[in-house]
Amino acid sequence: MRVAVSQFATSSNYQENLATCIRMINKAAVCQPSLIVLPEYCNTLFCSAKTCYLDHDQAWNEAISIDGNFLHCIAELAKKHNCYIVINVTIRRDLSRNVSNTKQDDSIKSNISVTSCLFSPLGELIHQEDKKKLVGHENDFFVNAHKMSEVISTSVGKLGLMTGSDSMNFEASRGLALHDAQLLCNSINTFALDQSHLHDPARAFENKIFLATANKVGALVPQAFIPSPTSESQNDASQEVLVGVGHSQIVSPDGKVLAKIANNEEGVIFADIDLIDNRQESDNKLRPDGTELLKQRRPDLYQKLMQTIKKPPLDGQENTHDGTVPKTANVAIFATYKSNEEAIEDVCFYIENNLSDIIQLPELFFIADKTIMNNAEQFDHIACLSKQLIKQISAVLRPYQYVCTSLVIEGAHQAVLISEHGLFATQQQLHFCQRYQWTELGDDLTILELPLEQGKISVAMLTADDANIPEIVKVAALNNIHLLLIPFDIQEASEVEYSLLSRAAENRICIVAASREKNFINEFSMKEANSSNDKTIDNKKGNKKKRKAVKSTGFIANLTEQSALPPHWNLAKFTGYINHPLIKYQHGKITKALVHPIAATHD
């Protein structure tokens, strides 16, 4: 099927917005798509970050009726162009503001929903999905839905509808994926780049699902609500900041962008995808090693862990701190290109010449080829090396200095934290993966209160595929960790390009993730580079691909000290992102950085 996404500006004028929607649908129809996705708030001008309506009467007047002319015109276009159309609008859910009063109190909130409507090629409204998660000023004017999102079976495949900030965390897309959605249609209205550059690809990748996002361009706030330069708000830069960022895109199940309008100007882009083939080839949504992605999940475990988090006593070190969380911590990633005893000696040399508080190593860093563990004799040797490693590394560590990696202990694959006194803490692998199918899985998540020289921080460790499961990272984050340590082995490039970075952003935690370096062949579409906001792209030109080897490594994800727009809309401080982590990628043998655990302090 061919899916098209469109980005455009709206105003506070009903007729202008209807004319814009008709024009953009007709423009998208030139490429003969099976589905067209339009942005959020197609009938009005609204931004959750700033008041956009004078009162509830204005919100009511700019909302539309479900059976009115606006949606009737959209239905006719779906029929005319023989395609599905997803459009998001504000809808009046009452018959009137208040029929009992001759004059309505403009402070009374009416039932106005923010709703994504799906029209079929027959011109029928076959599904309505009301927005569930209202943010900011949306709560002042709209009502949210409480029923679960539904997956809609169509002639082109199974569709899920998302709106606004739904893709900023994993839950909405995960729920739809678990109900067999194949394509997520995402209508958004944002001035920030977070969704297009990070969260959208992460949602597609972690669920092995297609995602099509349409965003707004142009002003998101009426001119009347922007203070003049001569007002008291001299530093107010909302006129420049609150502009739709565009960057509408279509993303594949491996997190790769198939088509994108890489600007904030009006335009249309499309991609050809095959939901049927995708369902047949990856019905079980397999990881590269053959692990069934969604079957890795352990919902009962997550529920249990929320009740019983395991916090072991400090082993061998007295906690002399008063609970102060240090503003910074020195972390480092070490990588060795050697194996067995030589790898251990290599790392010990690094430690002796390094003052970092926490040193992160890849999972089983001393084994280059994990398949040798299928040999019983080799497995026993690795278990012995694991014991030897703990002794050698602890002998060179300083007080309040730690090393994290994964080892084979008592026949199980476990993340470990080593201190000067030996084995400080362990975390058994929690989710099945094929490359460690021999290990017994753990049922506990260990949250560590880790003493550093300047205070103590709350830490969790996850190894193998565990950190790619967003549910378990959320459990750790809800237990107020500051830092997540991840000794892992990259299986797909999108793990470090999007998925794990999204874990840091959506949970407001620092992450140190170390892996052996990997090279992946990256097939990327040239459509983004050739995209034009004046015309749809010629399909033969747009589908041209290049193959390029891409190097993937671990990273250190730090947090900015502020997770939202700065006070007074200080444009000089706004980078285009609301909550994107600060990233330093693993490079060479030693990668060092300061992280700010204090920024992860949860209210």
Mean pLDDT of 303-313: 75
Residues 194-236 have pLDDT tens digits of 999 999 999 999 999 999 999 999 999 998 777 665 544 444 4
**CA dist list (Å): 35 to 38, 81, 84, 214:** 10, 10, 5, 12
Measure the CA–CA gap between 56 and 140, rounded to whole angstroms: 9
Measure the CA–CA gap between 293 and 354, rounded to whole angstroms: 38
pLDDT at 552: 86
The structural domains of the chain, with segments of one domain joined by +, span: 2-229+242-282, 315-517+553-600
pLDDT at 369: 84
* 84-92 β-sheet, strand order: 125-130, 112-119, 84-92, 35-37, 2-7, 267-272
pLDDT tier, 573 (very low <50, low <70, confident <90, very high otherwise): low
Which pairing describes strands 217-219 and 243-245: parallel, antiparallel, or unpaired? Answer: antiparallel
pLDDT at 285: 85
**pLDDT surpasses 70 at 19:** yes
The encoded tokens of residue 296 equal 């890795």
Measure the CA–CA gap between 167 and 151, rounded to whole angstroms: 16
3-state helix, strand, coil split of the chain in percent (to 5) is 30, 25, 45
pLDDT at 562: 58
Highest mean pLDDT range out of 143-147, 414-418, 530-534? 414-418
Mean pLDDT of 12-25: 97
3-state secondary structure of 89: strand
- Residue 36: phi, psi to the nearest 5? -120, 130
Mean pLDDT of 523-551: 48
The encoded tokens of residue 458 equal 């709350």
pLDDT at 44: 97
Measure the CA–CA gap between 405 and 395, rounded to whole angstroms: 16
pLDDT at 309: 65
Measure the CA–CA gap between 547 and 539, rounded to whole angstroms: 19
pLDDT tier, 308 (very low <50, low <70, confident <90, very high otherwise): confident
- Residue 501: phi, psi to the nearest 5? -65, -40
Higher per-residue confidence, 485 vs 580 = 485
Confirm if 418 and 390 have CB atoms less than 8 A apart: yes
Confirm if 386 and 343 have CB atoms less than 8 A apart: no
Lowest mean pLDDT among 25-29, 352-356, 560-564, 596-600: 560-564
3-state secondary structure of 90: strand
Residues 428-437 have pLDDT tens digits of 999 999 999 9
Q: Examine domains 2-229+242-282 and 315-517+553-600 and report if their fold is the same.
A: yes
Measure the CA–CA gap between 251 and 41, rounded to whole angstroms: 22
pLDDT tier, 65 (very low <50, low <70, confident <90, very high otherwise): very high
pLDDT at 375: 87
In CATH, the architecture of 2-229+242-282 is 4-Layer Sandwich (3.60)
Lowest mean pLDDT among 8-22, 355-369, 524-538: 524-538
Residues 85-114 have pLDDT tens digits of 999 999 999 877 754 444 556 677 789 999
The encoded tokens of residue 477 equal 């984050």
Beta bridge partners of residue 584, listed in sequence order: 556
pLDDT tier, 316 (very low <50, low <70, confident <90, very high otherwise): very low
CB within 8 Å of 323: residues ≥ 6 apart: 455, 456
The encoded tokens of residue 297 equal 């999940």
- Helices (runs of H) and strands (runs of E) counted in the chain: 17, 28
Q: Which of 567, 565, 533 is nearest to 220 (CA)?
A: 565
Measure the CA–CA gap between 35 and 58, rounded to whole angstroms: 32
Measure the CA–CA gap between 252 and 271, rounded to whole angstroms: 10
Residues 156-169 have pLDDT tens digits of 999 999 999 999 99
Mean pLDDT of 257-281: 87
Mean pLDDT of 257-278: 92
Lowest mean pLDDT among 312-321, 324-333, 496-505: 312-321
Topology annotation, domain 315-517+553-600: Nitrilase/N-carbamoyl-D-aminoacid amidohydrolase (3.60.110)
State the Rg of the chain over Cα: 26
pLDDT at 106: 67
3-state secondary structure of 226: coil
**pLDDT surpasses 70 at 258:** yes
**pLDDT surpasses 80 at 312:** no
Lowest mean pLDDT among 326-340, 344-358, 463-477, 568-582: 568-582
Q: Which of 506, 529, 37 is nearest to 257 (CA)?
A: 529
**Range 163-197 burial, b when 16+ CB lie within 10 A, else e:** bbbbbbbbebbbbbbeeebbbbbbbbbbbbbbbbb
Tell me the average pLDDT of the chain. Answer: 88
The encoded tokens of residue 352 equal 């002796």
